[in-house]
Amino acid sequence: MDTELALPNLDALHHELINCRLCPRLTAYREQIGRVKKREFRDWDYWARPVPGFGDPAARLLVVGLAPAAHGANRTGRMFTGDSSGQWLIRAMHRFGFANRPDSLRPDDGLELKDAYLTAVVRCAPPGNRPAPAEIAACRRYLVAELRLLPNLRVVVALGRVAFAGFLTACYWPERPPRGLEFAHGARYDLGRLTLIASYHPSRQNTQTGLLTEEMLDRVFALARAELDRA
């Protein structure tokens, strides 16, 4: 499948992305969620489309997640916005100077990212938070394009094993990533121009079980900040 998109800037990429219907299962699911809604959000007009990246076009830090949450970014239309994962992430980013406020609630909340950009390996909410391999492959074109259109990137934080693998595939596309790059929380890899840092995803499953604590997530962003301060 062709993963090259010859687009001039991020605005053009976002326009291309939000009209994507490449994956029938994901298209049907995101639109169904937007119609059925969740009771606490019944008054919302759900976004229910692919979610573009969000942040500073001159960013040196890229944060890569798995996919929009069904009632988070699929509702709000902004990455890591409106759910507990976004709250955990933005609190940590705020503590280390990458966000102007410690919460991410809705697109008009005034959140601005500083030297940082948020994205994901899949742009539509998947059933059970589990995209199929073919869906990850179909969406790869957008991450490949983002990496080309964010020329100042120096540090990448990958949230979770799927995001870690998906970023590496996009980063080295169309070649294969080098061997020996294994996912582990806090692992750091020198990829030449980029430094890759792995983290557990701040999902409820991970935060409520204690697999990921705020201190653990802080250490990841402290490492990212230190890498950028040395650059």
Render pLDDT for 52-97 as a digit per residue (tens, 0 to 9).
999 999 999 999 999 999 999 999 999 999 999 999 999 999 999 9
Note whether residue 191 is domain-resident. Answer: yes
Return d(Cα 186, Cα 5) in angstroms, integer: 32
pLDDT band at 2 (very low <50, low <70, confident <90, very high): low
Q: Looking at the 3D structure of the chain, how many domains does it have?
A: 1
Q: What is the CATH number of the domain that holds 154?
A: 3.40.470.10
pTM beyond 0.85: the answer is: yes
Residue 5 lies in a domain: no
* Residue ranges making up the domain that contains 19: 10-230
In the predicted model, is pLDDT for residue 26 greater than 60? Answer: yes
* Residue 193 CB coordination number (10 Å): 9
Query: Would 202 be classed as within a structural domain?
Result: yes
- 2 in any annotated domain: no
pLDDT over 70 at 207, yes or no: yes
Per-residue confidence band for 1, with pLDDT thresholds at 50, 70 and 90: very low
User: pLDDT-based confidence at 231, cuts 50/70/90?
Assistant: confident
Residue 3 lies in a domain: no
- Per the DSSP assignment, residues forming a β-bridge with 158 are 64, 198
Q: Is the pLDDT of residue 166 over 80?
A: yes
Asked, for residue 155, whether it belongs to a domain, the answer is yes
> Measuring CA to CA, how many Å separate 174 from each of 2, 65, 144, 158?
10, 21, 10, 20
Q: Is residue 51 part of a domain?
A: yes
**Is residue 219 in a domain?**
yes
